[in-house]
Chain A
Amino acid sequence: MTDPTTYISHLELGERDETFLDSNELIINMGPQHPATHGVLRVILKLDGEKVLGTECVIGYLHRGVEKIAEHRTYAMFNPYVDRMDYVAAVSNGLGYCEAVEKLLNVEAPPRANYVRVILTELNRLASHQLWLGTHALDIGAITPLFYTFRDREEILKIFEKYCGARLTTHAFRIGGCLYETYDGFEREVKKFLDFLEPKIDEYEELLTTNRIWVERTKGVGRISAADCKSLGVTGPVLRASGVKWDLRKAQPYAAYSDFEFDIPTGENGDTYDRYLVRMAEMRQSVRIIRQAVDRIPEGPIMAKIPKVIKPPVGEIYHSIEAPKGELGYFVVSDGSTQPYRVRVRPPSFVNLQALDLMVHGQLVADVIAVIGTLDIVLGEVDR
């Protein structure tokens, strides 16, 4: 086990060039304490002046052993832990885990629970994308959008707080459905929020989409082809921006997603600007989905009939959902006891981060920042 604090990169310096001036490549550490690495990511950069010759990510500074913890908790007890992985999209994490265990138990959440799940998950996608937009713009130097997005994200968090009492790590869902019935006026409040949000999305776009400097900073930066995305396993908006129409909500519908009409926005060039456009379009699609769900939310029970003690039959299951950052998969192995034998998480951030080296090779230091921002990683999820 390598101690991360003393870890030395495998990147090697080239020959010293003493023909003209004594010059050499430079290896610098970006992070783990750096304002633009979105947490405790450490990137070792090999630079020729400002040009990036190689990168290496050192991760694990936020490792908490979430997967190992699962082996010592019952199925229900592990549920809150998954919220702490991608803490800006805690609802999605919970949805993926609950559905995986439900599949293992062979039960299905009632339709009303599924609708509530869709509404909350999509609200969470909006919140996650807003946080991404604010920090991404901040990294590129536009400091104002951050405050606009946080102002609007606050409204989503208020809805979460009213629904389940928590703002960030919500633990909103339970295995078999939802624990809480929606509060009075939930539908009205969500609709009011959507009416409030839609013009705000235009406002964000007004600040950035046609901004000359923003376009120059993002167009052609961190380009990745569809083939590279596939071979690296990159998913989510990054994959879609490269032109692949792949969204698990359509490809293998879960919860109640098959009931709704929505488009999968895709890009063409696979650069940072396209990823920005795709995510902005996704926010609009999320609004569309929530509107339909709120209008058609059925009556009925919110919790399926599941035993008090969850004891799935021996077996294994892989279930994945479309989290805001990409494919979030849970591989759960049951040995028939009350505790999972093994839980393996496939976090989108971790897989997407692998594309960093490919995307920034030969570009400038400033582009590394832009690409880290556009990959939309959360270190809690990368390190688990």
Chain B
Amino acid sequence: MLQYITSYLDPNTKGTPGDVGNIFWAFVYIVLIFLGLSVAVIAMNWLERKILAHMQIRLGPMRVGPHGLLQPIADAIKLLIKEDIMPTEADKLVFWAAPLIVVITAFTTFIVVPFGPSHAVTDMNIGVLFMLGVSSLSVLGVVMAGWASNSHYPLMGALRSSAQMVSYEVAMGLAVVSAVLMTSLSGIGIYATGSASTGTGTLSMIGIVQSQMMQQTWFAFKFFPLGLIALFIFAVAMVAETNRAPFDLPEAESELTAGFHTEYSGFRWSLFFLAEYSAMIAVSSIAVTLWLGGWLRPFPNWLSGETWDMVFSLFPGLTFLVLAGICFFSTMRMPKHPYFRVQTIGLAGFGAALAVIGLALFVPPVRDRIQDIYWFVAKVAVFMYLYIWYRGTFPRYRFDQLMKVGWKVLLPVGLGVLILTAVAGVF
């Protein structure tokens, strides 16, 4: 048993737990991803409210904990102990199943997300396809939620949502295909285990990143500007796919009160919330993997060499130290009134914890292993910030305009990019 566990840690074992077939480590990875995702959603909740608030000259949550740091936890507790309301006219089974489907599909996609060359639960040779397929299943949950509520506004929200998701899936798929084409075009097809085979591309998430590594370019910058256009199409389509502003019609609160989840409350509602944020992270991970080099650090060609490797490997620790510094700075600025003593100590403690983590990340064995994950998360975080930025800036599209953008703009451009990518690859 113990041998079974330690066998994976053998440096000769290459690949993800799924590839090796080690169930124990696969399970550990699943738990880690689940925990990490939950923490990420909680952090996103706080960050979104804070960033949006500062864009809108407000303070955002300030009361629960220093600078509202405990607000998401307070919200979670509130949601959990709220009364669970199910409309009497609702279709009970479907109403019960809808949030589960949404949340399960959102989490399942993370099986193939590569946080590093071997940091994934498993690596499928159809990774991208699996991810797109599973994440688009969530529309089923949305439609079910709208239907089962047996109410007008949720029904309309669900209809909008299904139409929207279906039409943006097409443009999204075209953009993805153009990225997948790029993996084969240089004549180096890489499969998950790292063995090179000539002439074939790959759909494996890890294979795509490795292919970017071999070709020494991120696909966003390949065949300039084709890669960038494909990334742009994907970036627009993914906002529509996750129902976020400016494409948040299914839950347009000023039109349909809350869209498909109007009738949901308490824990069931929080599942939708969880799923929305997980889905945002999932599609951002696809974008990062396909176009922005996944776990690869920036400027590997320009700033190459051991020194630069060393410098870039310090980034994870430095990031945490900077965060700790911000915490300490805020601690100094806390009001000196005794009422705030607990909060001040808490904030200083939080800063200290971040600093300890930051220092731990400088220790060489940790430093080397954490890098891939750090760069991946950092790139995803950029997309998350964009999501919040959009929400603070854009008005909402109307339904027909949304369809117009999807079918008349993104689809033809996506087709064009796909064809041009193929042509560019031949010459």
Contact = CB atoms under 8 A, between A and B. Distances in A.
A367 to B, nearest CB: 7
Contact of B397 (A34, A216, A367): A216
Binding site secondary structure of chain B: helix
A257 interface: no
B401 interface: yes
A50 B156 contact: yes
Contacts of B152: 26, 28
A143 B56 CA distance: 8
B89 interface: no
Q: Which of B255, B392, B395, B399 has the most CB of A within 10 A?
A: B395
Chain A CB within 10 A, most for which of B152, B248, B394: B394
Given A141-B248, A141-B252, A366 B57 contact: no
Interface residues of A, number: 30
Contacts of B153: 28
B55 A139 contact: no
Q: From DSSP, what is the main secondary structure of chain A's interface residues?
A: helix
Interface in A346-384: 364-367, 369
A35 B397 contact: no
Contacts of A148: 56-57
Contacts of B56: 143-144, 146-148
Interface residues of B, number: 29
A233 to B, nearest CB: 28
A208 B257 CA distance: 24
Interface in B391-427: 391-401
B127 interface: no
Interface in B311-366: none
Contacts of B396: 140-142, 213, 217, 366
Contacts of B395: 137, 140-142, 208, 211, 213-214, 217
B399 A141 contact: no
Contact of A216 (B160, B253, B398): B398
A213 B246 contact: yes
B120 interface: no
Contact of B255 (A36, A211, A216): A36
A369 B393 CA distance: 19
Contacts of A66: none
Contacts of A366: 249, 252, 255, 396, 398-399
B245 interface: yes
A141 B401 contact: no
Interface of A: 26, 28, 34-36, 50, 137-144, 146-148, 151, 207-208, 211, 213-214, 216-217, 364-367, 369
Interface of B: 55-58, 152-153, 156, 160, 245-246, 248-249, 252-257, 391-401
Given A141-B245, A142-B393, 6 more contacts: A28-B152, A35-B253, A140-B395, A143-B56, A217-B397, A369-B254
22 contacts: A35-B254, A36-B255, A50-B160, A50-B399, A139-B254, A140-B396, A141-B248, A141-B396, A142-B394, A147-B58, A211-B395, A213-B394, A213-B396, A213-B397, A216-B397, A217-B397, A364-B399, A365-B156, A366-B396, A366-B398, A366-B399, A369-B255
Give me the 8 closest cross-chain CB pairs, A-B, nearest first: A141-B396, A36-B254, A142-B395, A147-B56, A141-B395, A28-B152, A140-B395, A366-B398
